[in-house]
Amino acid sequence: MALILGIESSCDETAVAIIDGSAGSLEARIVAQRIASQDAEHAPYGGVVPEIAARAHAEVIAPMVGAVLADAGLTLEDMDAIAATAGPGLIGGVMVGLVTGKALAMAADKPLIGVNHLEGHALSPRLADPDLAYPYLLLLVSGGHCQILEVRGLGDYRRLATTIDDALGEAFDKTAKILGLGYPGGPAVERLAREGDPRAVLLPRPLVGSGEPHFSFAGLKSAVMRAKDSGLHADADIAASFQQAAIDCVIDRTRLALESVRDSGAAGMSALVVAGGVAANAALRGALETLAAGFGLRLVAPPGKLCTDNAAMIGWAGAERFALGYTDPLDLPARPRWPLDANAAPVRGAGVKA
């Protein structure tokens, strides 16, 4: 048994999990886990308020560690290592989780593993699917990130594409806000889209057909706003048309990345993998499955609960690191920005977002 305590607090979910890194199935690997969502605290503001998030993490995190250990019938002494998200994310929240992890590691004399939140998402499909081997092509789509990465091995990532403005989840959240669907918006847009006609509203497909596989969603969001303001369309039609336009963009961009990897002579990809909160979207999964099949690849998508932020993916990334002997010192800094591919060139037109 390699038991890892995982802690996640980089955005608006406080989460703690215990992972058995040596188990062979998803069910056996997640020994226990709890997630406290802050949705209710942030809903009045239509988005995550960093100060409120940090305070809420600080309130619940220590009791949550105790509760997860109790759920598992284990103690801190039973853990082999403590893994905590060390970035990227809202710095106040990251600090709460990382310092909690450090304190536990020090008190129990266990190694600390600082996990990159994006690596947690990137490896979550390997937690869910024990057969998923490196290398694979990863579409990472969350509220803060929208990237295509070649995952060559643990800690070895090559970024092929990123967004030059908004992340995909952000586009779903902004569309939800425009349509008055509340926060978090992605699941609400997906629900409403089921009742609408995806061809009803003519919306742009930014960057589709361009020679590099980058993303852009700001223009799409503005078009959604104009469609709403026109008063000509039912909300369900706007939601369905937005979702279709966004998916068309993702498919076109991912196809380009798949082609470039296929033609580059790099080691063959074992699968197309989608992770991050927006990977919970069933329409997106369906379209990606068809795309992958066209390249003779299978699509691997973790169950929805492992797509949105959770601590199981952090514990799992910690378990993969622990197995290779990677641990971190107790003065490890919390990082608001922490790209998976440090060598990726900046993208022209990219704004200030991480």
Binding footprint of ligand KG4 on the chain (CB under 6 A): 11, 142-144, 169, 172-173, 184-187, 190, 276-278, 280-281, 308-309
CB-nearer residue toward ligand KG4: 3 or 176: 176
Site membership for Zn ion, residue 14 (CB under 5 A): no
Q: How far is the CB of 280 from Zn ion (least distance, A)?
A: 12
Strands 81-87 and 112-116: parallel
CA distance 152 to 269: 9
Q: Both tokens of residue 188?
A: 């609400």
Q: How far is the CB of 24 from ligand KG4 (least distance, A)?
A: 26
| Residue 184 binds which of ligand KG4, Zn ion, none (CB < 5-8 A, kind-dependent) | ligand KG4
Contact letters for Zn ion, residues 109-148 (x by CB under 5 A) = ---------------------------------x------
CA distance 130 to 24: 7
CB-nearer residue toward ligand KG4: 105 or 284: 284
| Residue 187 binds which of ligand KG4, Zn ion, none (CB < 5-8 A, kind-dependent) | ligand KG4
Strand order in the sheet with 146-153: 156-161, 146-153, 136-141, 272-275, 299-300
Contact by Cβ (8 Å): 101, 84: yes
Site membership for Zn ion, residue 310 (CB under 5 A): no
When binding is defined by CB under 5 A, the residue of 235, 309, 320, 328 that contacts Zn ion is: 309
First-to-last alpha carbon distance for the chain, in angstroms, is: 36
CA distance 184 to 102: 31
Contact by Cβ (8 Å): 237, 194: no
Site membership for Zn ion, residue 166 (CB under 5 A): no
CB-nearer residue toward ligand KG4: 69 or 251: 251
Q: Both tokens of residue 137?
A: 């092509």
Q: Both tokens of residue 243?
A: 């979702």
Q: How far is the CB of 113 from ligand KG4 (least distance, A)?
A: 19
